[in-house]
Amino acid sequence: MADCIFCQIVARQAPADIMWENDTVIAFRNIAPKRQIHHLIVPKQHIASLDETVANQQAVLGQLLLVARELSQDSAIQEDGYEVVINGGARIEVPHLHLHLLAGQPTGTEVGR
């Protein structure tokens, strides 16, 4: 979708600090972090929200969680703990399914609270 910032990042039409990528998923640092570590994990295919997913998207949904696990290992945050948040309904700022990987001290208002 042309007006979706995450689709623009996927298409390299908007800047992002990309940390991880494959054919299905891209992960990058949030430009307005709520915690010391705040990464966004996004499917490359535009899916408006978790409510819009269908059964044949199980693989991409699983990939999102596996990337969260891998980034938590790469960031050495597993020992101190981390959160994975999927916002829904009115909490969605960008209408493109995404996970927040959060760790460390708050920098402002918590996501999903």
Contact between 101 and 39 (Cβ < 8 Å) = yes
Q: State how far the Cα of 48 lies from the Cα of 88, in Å rounded to an integer.
A: 10
Amino acid at 93: E
Q: State how far the Cα of 45 lies from the Cα of 47, in Å rounded to an integer.
A: 6
Contact between 85 and 38 (Cβ < 8 Å) = no
Catalytic residues, by residue number, are: 98
